[in-house]
Structure 1
Amino acid sequence: MKSEKNIKKYIIFIILTMSTGIVYKLPYIQDVFYIPMQKSLNLTHTQIGNILSIAGFFSTFGFLGSIYFIDRISKKILIPCALIGVGITGIYLSTFPSYYVLILIWILFSLFSDMLYWPVLVKSVKNLGNSNEQGRIFGFFEAGRGLFDTVIVFMALYLFSRLKSLKYVMLFYSISAIIMGILAFIVLEKDDPIRKKKEHNSSVNFEVVKLKEVWLVAGNIFCAYAIYCGLTYTMPFLQNTYNVSVLLIGVYSMINQYGIKMLAGPFGGYLADKKFKSSSKYFRFSFISIILVMIFMIALPHKNISVNIVFIFVIAFAAIANSMKALLFAPMQEVGIDENISGAAISLASFIGYSPLVFCYSLYGNILDRFEGILGYKILFSIIIAFALVGLLINKKLIKVTKLKKSINNIV
């Protein structure tokens, strides 16, 4: 009986991992097919930026909207609807509609993938393990997601190279999302939504706003994600400061994409569960490590040092940042949020935690434009240190809360 339950859990884990690897392919199709997208849809750089910014606005506030229904509607409904919704919207995208219709399409993408899908996905992954397994579960989830993500992208690239049209890539992504939606509906188990009005009035999920634990987890995510956003600028840092060749940058990208990104999550999860016995404590270690790495990056004599030494620090930064990203929501189980509002807690934490997307890239980019050369990067690294210091302060309180919750659970 127990083995059957474990097999079912592994199947659900695989389906959730694969579906996450496909659900964001269409909303972020520009990451791989920017130029083909621009030509096929007849868009300017500004128009693409406008589409993504508007979609980002709806994504951010979509997390808030999901607070109301995430604990009321089963994942067996929400996840398949999100995947199939993305797929159907993608099929219409493949007709190459006008600019204003594209804005509407990307708004729908953001609502399906971020409002309907992401918070319930995190809640579902979290519920697959107990509080002592959260690091490993989220770590392996991120690694599996990255692996399937890579396979899907290579298949799309092969399709594009053979058929020479983005239309077929869009259809491939769309059909894959619909298939995953059907599989999710078949495999996922039905939740017990909040039904009893006497025990849960219509505003019960918004009670989560009053919980200190949720704000501490959200603040922890906010600082960690702001640091992760800085990872984008390591490649231009190497190119602009050390004139590293495009070939070597490509090698770094491969190491980051297929090595660090897939190994950092499981390794960080293992350390969180086995070494630190707490994902919150692992974040404390990570924030301190980031501060030390950034101090070295600032203090290094960049004019008189081998790029290989700098490369080691860049890899260290990538490993720590990716492991933090993989475990962003792992502390949620430790703080003992009531299961009836855990989905709402994840939605609120997502709204706050992912908000660096709204301003960090603009902030970092503006600094590099205003301060040329190594000075701009030193200022950027200093800002990352500031986020890590704030993260440490928040994390200190978060660890106190997790210790208190564990001591109460041990007494009970």
Structure 2
Amino acid sequence: MKGKLRKNIPTLVILIIAGEMIYTLPYFRNYYYDVFLNAFHLTNTQMGTLGSAYGVCCLISYIFGGYVADRWRTKHLLSISLFATGILGFALLLYPPYPVLLLIYAAWGITSIMTFWVALIKAVRSLASENEQGKAFGFFEGGRGAAKVIESALVLGLFAFLAKQLSDKLALSSVIIFYSVMCILLGIMIMLLYKEPDGNNSSDDEIKEKADKKFDWAILLRILKMPTTWLAAILILTSYAMINSFYYITPYATAAFGASTIIAAALGYFSQYCRPIGSFGSGIIGDRIGISNMVIIGYCVLAIGLAALIVLPGKPSFILLLLVFIAIIYISMYALQATHFAILVEGDYPVETTGTVAMPLMIIGYSGEIFMPIVAGACLDHWSGTEGYKVLFTILLGLTIVGLITAIIWQRVTKEKRKEIALLKREMKAS
């Protein structure tokens, strides 16, 4: 078991790149919030509803994602997902009316989740031993952040150049083309180069047998009876709500601090520079001090950052201080994201049940995809100026406190399993 993750680094790199690029199209609107809003003639509420349409289909996809991931080859699932997502991206170039936009975002909820996400999580878990789960997911999330840093620098530079030379709308079109082409190219690369992880190779007959096999409801019922399942779902829900909403910091910087469109977009991309720090740090430290201890630290730091963001006066002279608090928020939220599935080892879930475990965790945990965009849009349309943003950040602070309390309860429930993991670490160091 020792060194299992190291042996699977090439496979992990492939998963990292694919796991980052497929979500650029569903989420890039948030980095160019004001430009997207104007180009498609949307209100804040309609903008939020696009995210909710995506979230509803994500929720449906989570229900079936585990079934799909446990029964078909990862290679095929990943490639098909990337192809479909890229093709839908090209449809945006027509600047369709709002109802068509809703359909596109709804379809992305299927292509990026049902046939992709659960299979991706299962693949990452299988690449590492029990005492390497923190590193595996920390490197995975950090690697996605590093990939985002490179991609965002290129795209932001392209957008800034074309916006200055031509127009914001044409610059936005170039961004759409770039992301759509990248998804399709990655789909081709995975089809040609990706190999199933060691121990996960199955013959065609075995794959067919899995596909024909009925869902094991007994395993699901056993998982639903475990208190750790519900606690893990709340941890994902409360931390993912921030990940669903941090994009609103970008228009907040424009409204409250007078930041330009380019600077605001740069602040959005700044999250990806903080992502490797939060993810790598969370994975490495989490494996040393315990994943749940890392979760508690993450919630505490996130609460401090949000509280500071709420009370900070909205003046241009405070924009550097704003950057500090934004960095705190970004680092802590990605540190928490890196623990979403690494913490399952403390809940004592075998890797082979990942698809089944993911069903209730994702349905509840990722439901923020549905309600947070609506909540955010409603806050901005109901309260004028910067007040709506501060109401939103206050709601997120409340959810962060709920997550912190849940993490403390988690530690009490998983006390015995955490002792076993600590003993395994000591034995491996001694050997």
TM-score, normalised via structure 2 length? 0.76
Aligned residue for 2:276?
262
2:64 is the counterpart of 1:65? yes
The 3 A distance-change label for structure 1 pair 31 and 312 is closer
CA deviations on 1:26-65 (whole Å, 9 max, x unpaired) are: 44464578899999xx965378877654343222111011
1:365 alignment partner in structure 2 = 377
The aligned residue for residue 236 of structure 1 is 251
Structure 1 384/128 Cα, relative in aligned 2: closer, same or farther at 3 Å? same
Q: 1:154-173, aligned counterparts within 5 Å?
A: 169=178, 172-173=181-182
For 1:284 and 1:170, how far apart are their aligned partners in 2?
Answer: 36
Shift of 1:98: 7.6
1:7 and 1:86 map into 2 onto residues whose CA distance is 31
Residue 295 of structure 2 corresponds to 283
State the distance in 2 between where 1:385 and 1:142 align: 23
SS of 2:15's equivalent in the other structure is helix
Question: Once the two structures are superposed, what CA deviation does each residue of 1:211-263 show, in whole Å capped at 9, x if it has no partner?
Answer: 32222111101011113334223333343334345565455445433x21232
2:240 pairs with 218, 225, 240, which one? 225
Deviates more, 1:5-14 or 1:366-375: 366-375
Stretch moving more, 90-99 or 122-131: 90-99
Change (3 A) 1:281 1:318: same
| Structure 2 letter corresponding to 1:172 | V
- Could you tell me how far apart the structure 2 residues matched to 1:82 and 1:247 are? 31
Give the secondary-structure state (helix, strand or coil) at the position aligned to 1:327: coil
Deviation at 1:139, TM superposition (A): 2.1
Superposition CA RMSD, Å: 4.2
Does the aligned pair in 2 maintain the 1:81–1:181 contact within 8 Å?
no
Which has the larger displacement, 281-290 or 5-14?
A: 5-14
**How many Å separate the matches in 2 of 1:304 and 1:27?**
31
Q: Which amino acid aligns with 1:263?
A: I
User: In the alignment, is residue 345 of structure 1 matched against residue 357 of structure 2?
Assistant: yes
Q: Which piece of structure 1 moves more, 353-362 or 165-174?
A: 165-174
Would the aligned equivalents of 1:367 and 1:376 in 2 still touch at CA under 8 Å?
A: yes
Tell me, yes or no, if structure 1 residue 178 matches structure 2 residue 192: no
Alpha carbons of structure 1 residues 267 and 297: separation in structure 2 relative to 1, 3 Å: same
State the AA in 1 paired with 2:231.
L
Q: Specify whether residues 183 and 149 from structure 1 end up closer, same or farther in structure 2 by C-alpha distance, changes over 3 A only.
A: farther
Residue 170 to residue 215, structure 1, CA distance change in 2 (3 Å): same
Q: Relative to structure 1, is the Cα distance of residues 10 and 205 closer, same or farther in structure 2, using a 3 angstrom cutoff?
A: same
Q: Name the amino acid aligned to 1:45.
A: L
> Counterpart of 1:356 in structure 2: which amino acid?
G
Which of 247, 269, 294 pairs up with 2:306? 294
How many residue pairs match? The answer is 404
CA contact (8 A) 2:233 2:361 kept: yes
Query: Do the aligned partners of 2:234 and 2:406 also contact (CA within 8 Å) in 1?
Result: yes
Q: Which amino acid aligns with 2:248?
A: Y
Matches within 5 A, 1:34-113: 45=42, 53-86=52-85, 89-90=87-88, 93=91, 106-113=105-112
Is contact 2:135-2:287 (8 Å) kept? yes
Distance 1:348 1:191, change over 3 A: farther
- Among 399, 405, 410, the alignment partner of 1:393 is 405
Q: Does 1:329 align with 2:375?
A: no
- Alpha carbons of structure 1 residues 311 and 90: separation in structure 2 relative to 1, 3 Å: closer
Q: Percent identity?
A: 25
In structure 2, the residue matched to 1:403 is 415
C-alpha change, 1:148 and 1:245, in structure 2 (3 Å) is closer
- Measured against aligned partners, the alpha-carbon deviations of 1:284-329 in whole angstroms (never above 9, x if no partner) come to 1122223333344445566798444444223222221222223322
Does the 8 A contact of 2:48 with 2:373 survive in 1? Answer: no
CA shift for structure 1 position 394: 1.5
Change (3 A) 1:152 1:215: same
Distance in 1 separating the partners of 2:264 and 2:37: 25
Contact (CA 8 Å) 1:18, 1:145: kept in 2 or not? yes
1:187-233: CA deviation from partner (whole Å, max 9, x where unpaired): 54535679699x98642453333332222111101011113334223
- Separation in 1, partners of 2:153, 2:252: 27
* Aligned position for 2:121: 122
Aligned to 2:395: 383
CA drift of 1:11 comes to 0.9
